[in-house]
Structures are given as C-alpha cells and as structure tokens.
Amino acid sequence: MPSTTVIILDEYPPPPPQLYDALRTMDAELVTRTLPDLMYGDTEELPVADVLLVPAESDGESVRTAVRRLRRRAGAPIVVVWTVAGFAALEEHVRLGHDYLVPPFLPALVGARLHSCSERAGLGRTLREADARAELMGYEKELEIGREIQAGFLPESLPVPEGWEIDVRFRPARQVAGDFYDVFEISRGRRLAVVVADVCDKGVGAALFMALIRSLLRHTAENSGLQHLMAAGRAGGGRRTPVVGATPLLNAVTATNGYLTRNHLRQGYFATLFFGVLDPVTGSLVYINGGHNPPLLLRADGSDPVPLDVTGPAVGVLPDCVYTLGYAQLDPGDTLFVFTDGVPEARCPGGSFLGDERMLDLLAGPPVSGKDVVDRIDLAVREHTGTAEQHDDVTMLALHRPRAARGPRADGAGHRVVA
Amino acid sequence: MPLSVSLSIEGDTTVIELTGELDAKTAPDFHQTIEKAAGHGTSTVEIRMAGVGYMASAGLRSLVFAQQKVADHVTIKVVGAIEPVSRTIRTAGLDRSILLSDD
C-alpha cells in the first residue's frame, strides 16, 4: 500500500511533465479530481488523501471549501500549491496557509516535501480522532449523569402493604427513559398509590417530561386532603359510594393535565398513564386510565383476564377534559398486571411484534405470584426481541394479593375438618 | 423500516400521505412536513395513513404536534388508518380532537 495518497487537481494548467515524473517515482497513489467534484460531489465519494496538489491559478477560497468538505469526510489533506512562474498567485495561497512547490521538480525534493506533508496530515487526523473520542466521552458522561438523575425520580424502595406483593421490571431502551412507575402511600398511609406511565417519544426530551409528570402526580396526590368524595363510577348506578383516595387520584391527574396543557402544549409531549389507588385492607381499587394500554386483572380462578379500560384521554393533550373513575376488586389470589406498550410491541429481528394475543396466552391460567407473571412476560419479551435492538422502554408492575396472606379463612371458605 | 412522506394540495385540503412506519426515528420527517403543511393555510389537513403499518408513541406525538402547528379553525383528519393504528389513536384519546375516518 502506498504511504501517501495525492489528489491531483484536474484544472488548468496541468502539472508540468517533470512534476508528474517526480510524483510517479515516489511511493504514492495518485487520484485526479476537478475542483467542482470536491466542492459539490457526493461526500461519500470524496477520496481520502494526505495531499491535495493544486495549481497556483486555482481560486484560494474554492480550494478551502474543498478542504473543509474533505476534512468532514476523513481528515483534511495538506494543500500543496505548485507553479512554474505564477508567483503572485502563489503568494496568495501561501497567505492562506497552503504549502508550495516550485521548480526544479526533482524527484528527491518533491518526494521529501510530499512525505513530510503526508506526516502532517496523519498527525492532524490523529488529533481529530482524539478530539472526537473526547467529545463522545463527554456526551456519554453527560448521558450517564442524566441516567443517574433520572433513577432518582423512580422510587428507591416500594412501600408494600402487609398481605400484598409488588413486583416491578423496568428496562429502558436507551440510557434515559420515557417510561416510569411509582408506588407511594397517600391518605395518611390508608391507601397505596400505584402509577405506571409512558411519556410519548424517546430520549432526553421524554426523560425531562417524565421527571415533570412524575413529580406533579406524586406531589399533588400526596398533598390532597383526606376528603371523602361521592365518586361517580363510569357505569353509574350501583357503585356511587364514597371512596377514600379518590380525591387525591382525581386531583393528581386533572391538575397534571391542566398544568401540562397550560404550560407545555406547544411541545407536544404527553403521557399515557394508569393511576390506581388501592385499599390494602379490602382489596378495592379505584383508578384512572389516561389513554394507557388497559392493565389486566388476572383472576385467581384462571378465568379470562379483565382489562381495565381507559377512563379518559392521555395526560397533557386536551385542556379541561374529564377523567372518570374506574373500580376493580382484587381478591385473594388475584394479580393486577400493569405494563407499557414496550411489552406487546417488542419486535423480533424480522420486525414482527410480540402482540396482544401472545401476551394473553402467556397470562392464561391462575397467577401463582406477581413475580412469576413479571418473569414469564419479561422472558417472552427478551426471547422475542432476540438479537434485535430493544425498540422501546419496557415497564411492568404486578400487584398481587397472595391467598395465604389473610389466613385460611381469607376467601370465606373456612377450615374443612377431616374426620 | 423507513417512512415516505408526500405533500400535496387538493382544493382547500392539504394532503400528507404517509407510507412505512411512524416511530421515533421517522417522526422528525413527518414533523417537517407538518410545518410546511401548516404554512399552506388550507382549512383541512388530511393525513392519509393507509400505508402506515405501525405507529409508536412518537407518532402520536406528531399528531399532537400537528394540532399545535395549525390554526384553531383547521380540521385535522386521519384517513384510512389500519385497525392497530387507529386503536392507538383512540386509546390515547386523540380521536377527541382529530377526525378519524375510513376514507
């Protein structure tokens, strides 16, 4: 492989024969291009070279433009300007920092000059690579700091009420995520708030909105009073009972939606979320599903999972919209499985999705424990994704009420005494 | 899979036709087209999505972004979306402000 690559500029005047002879005798690869090729041609097709050989008659600024493009491609070549008699034009190039060659074009002189230029070009490339690496490391470090700070917006530990199990799986697709989950006590510890949310889009933008939305939801819910509320169920009719925890729930979601639509509508970020409030004593759950994939209530008897359908739009899209409350009951042996779209939309290398059907198949039968449900789905997601790039954040939360926790009489069946 | 985006004007309607997948990688192309479409000032912006096989949440964001870009009186229509795509739009509740239609 030649030690030097030289681009010979195909412009008038052509290099004199002695210069050509000298170039041919040295260990160099010679390529020929016109100035317009270098200035306007496809970047991918620009040659990688150490030296750009230019007649003094060429326009200095055009040569600089060409060099800038070559620099972006693979490092700048050293410009060597030659002339036989055009010394005024040569002077102009030298002012621009270009190197030069003048007669006699003896092979040893030309060779030595071009080799030294080639070394300078190599040094420039090395510096440029070092700069690029340093810059990349800087970005990666910043992103790592971002990831650590974002981790601080997830709960450090989960307050699990006695007689319940909570299992969470959180696998972001990138260093920073748009998904989040949260579990915290409200109404002076009498209720448990469970949130799973997905901020639209990915990357740093989604991560910033994640921090905002999580904080608004949690802060509002924690600071809402203990008032009882005559909460109207979606179906109306029978379930109009006062529900502790419904006020913080409604306040949190409506206030967050109001804040986002008042202050951030132009940015177009929003979140789909499931926000449930559990009474750990009775297992009753009141919730808002704001445009989120319906969580699935897996029954202890293995009957078909019950989807907790949407009760309002995604949060941050529509000003002044109404969120209604949904109700569910978790009996011993039941599991509530909440997840984000990264689960059914996990893609295999061929591009096909895991899909809702497959998820329902995997969830068929009575849930053994929340951990078992999360593990089973997570394994399926990872096996399905295989070698493909993880497309989206994956978040799962299972809220399980074990059978044994409330004693043998928990389901009202009581002891059977065998004589 | 890449997204192809085309933009045309038919009478008082600006038509954006999308083919491919609308996700975090391809949404920026769609955003640029929306900005151009908003500049046309027609009373309707029609987004033809029959050729969109998959729309991620980044695509939903594009639709919200579109609403923000056009003037208040402009109607945004999403036309011909396949069931999984229209379900994504309905689940998020965006069908309350964007008109979903089959053709």
H/E stretch holding A400 reads strand A394-400
Strand ranges in A135-270 using DSSP code E only, listed in sequence order: 165-171, 179-186, 191-199
What pLDDT shows up at residue A408? 43
Three-state DSSP state, A138: helix
Closest residue of A to B92, CA-based?
A291
Which CATH class name applies to A153-406?
alpha beta
Q: Do B92 and A314 touch (CB under 8 A)?
A: yes
Task: Tell me whether residue A11 is exposed, middle or buried, using C-beta atoms within 10 angstroms of its C-beta: 0 to 12, 13 to 18, 19 or more.
Answer: middle
Q: Which residues of chain A have a CB within 8 Å of the CB of B65? A: 268
Does the distance separating the beta carbons of A310 and B93 come in below 8 Å? yes
Placement of tokens 């897996």 in the chain = A298
What six digits make up the tokens of A245? 């925890």
Is the CB of A208 inside 8 Å of chain B's CB atoms? Answer: no
> How close does chain B come to A273, measured CA to CA in Å?
10
Instruction: Give the H/E segment covering residue A361.
Output: helix A356-363
Q: Are strands A296-298 and A335-339 parallel, antiparallel or unpaired?
A: antiparallel
Share of chain B above pLDDT 90, in %: 67
User: What is the side-by-side strand order in the sheet with A326-329?
Assistant: A179-186, A191-199, A271-278, A284-290, A326-329
Q: Quick one: pLDDT at residue A11? A: 83
Provide the sign of the torsion angle of the four alpha carbons A198, A255, A336, A164, taken in this order.
positive
Domain with CATH 3.60.40.10 in chain A: 153-406
pLDDT per residue, tens digit, chain A (419 aa), is: 567 889 999 888 889 999 988 988 888 899 999 999 999 988 888 888 899 999 999 999 999 999 989 888 878 899 999 999 989 999 999 998 899 999 999 999 998 998 899 888 888 888 888 888 888 888 888 888 888 999 999 999 999 999 999 999 999 988 888 899 999 999 889 999 999 999 998 888 999 999 999 999 999 999 886 544 444 444 444 455 557 889 999 999 999 999 999 999 888 899 999 999 999 999 999 999 999 999 999 999 999 999 999 999 999 999 989 999 999 999 999 999 999 999 999 999 988 899 999 999 999 989 899 999 999 999 999 999 998 888 889 999 999 999 974 444 444 343 333 33
Number of neighbours of residue A154 by Cβ within 10 angstroms:
16
How far off is chain A from B64, nearest CA to CA, in Å? 5
The architecture (CATH level 2) of A4-136 comes to 3-Layer(aba) Sandwich (3.40)
Inter-chain residue contact B93 with A314, CB threshold 8 Å = yes
- Contacts A178 to B, Cβ<8 Å: 57
Which regions of chain A carry the CATH code 3.40.50.2300?
4-136
3-state secondary structure labels for all residues of B52-72: EEEECHHHHHHHHHHHHHCCC
Q: Tell me the nearest-neighbour CA distance from A289 into chain B, angstroms.
A: 10
Tokens found for residue A300: 């202890």
Across the interface, whether the CB atoms of A201 and B58 are under 8 A apart is answered yes
User: Could you give phi then psi for residue A71, rounded to 5 degrees?
Assistant: -65, -40
Enter the DSSP assignment of A148: H
Q: What is the 3-state secondary structure of chain B?
A: CCEEEEEEEECCEEEEEEEEEECCCCHHHHHHHHHHHHHHCCCEEEEEEEEEEEECHHHHHHHHHHHHHCCCCCEEEEECCCHHHHHHHHHCCHHHCCEEECC
Structure tokens that stand for A248 in this block: 């913080």
Shortest CA distance from A313: residue in chain B: B93
Q: Which residues of B touch A391 (CB under 8 A)?
A: 23, 56
Q: How many alpha carbons lie under 13 Å from residue A325 in its C-beta half-sphere?
A: 29
Give the long-range contacts of residues A349-358, CB within 8 A, separation 24 or more: A349/A386, A349/A387, A349/A388, A351/B1, A353/B54, A354/A380, A354/A381, A354/A384, A358/A384
Kindly determine whether residue B57 and residue A321, on different chains, have CB atoms separated by under 8 Å. no
Q: Is A271 at the interface with chain B, CB within 8 A?
A: no
CA distance, residue B27 to nearest chain A CA (Å) = 9
Q: What is the chain A residue with the closest CA to B27?
A: A201
Q: Do A200 and B96 touch (CB under 8 A)?
A: no
Tokens matching residue A277: 């409030």
A336 vs B32, more confident: A336
Phi first, then psi: give them for residue B61, nearest 5 degrees: -60, -35
Asked if A178 and B91 come within 8 Å (Cβ–Cβ), the reply is no
Q: Provide the CATH number for the domain formed by B3-101 in this structure.
A: 3.30.750.24
Name which of B57, B62, B68 is nearest A341 (Cβ-Cβ). Answer: B57
Question: Does A79 reach chain B within 8 Å, measured CB to CB?
Answer: no
B101 touches chain A (CB under 8 A): no
Amino acid at A55: P
Put simply, the chain A residues between 299 and 328 with a CB less than 8 A from any chain B CB are 310, 312-314, 317-318, 321
Single-letter amino acid code for the residue at A409: R
Interface of B with A in 34-63 (CB under 8 A): 54, 56-58, 60-62
Give burial (CB, 10 Å; 0-12/13-18/19+) of B72: exposed
A338: contact with B, CB 8 A cutoff: no
Per-residue burial over A182-218, b = 16 or more CB atoms within 10 Å of its CB, e = otherwise? bbbebbeeebbbbbbbbbbbbbebbbbbbbbbbebbb
Q: What is the DSSP letter of A15?
A: P
Q: Supply the ipTM of this predicted assembly.
A: 0.87
Q: What is the pLDDT of residue A230?
A: 42
**In A36-98, beta strands by DSSP E:** 51-55, 78-82
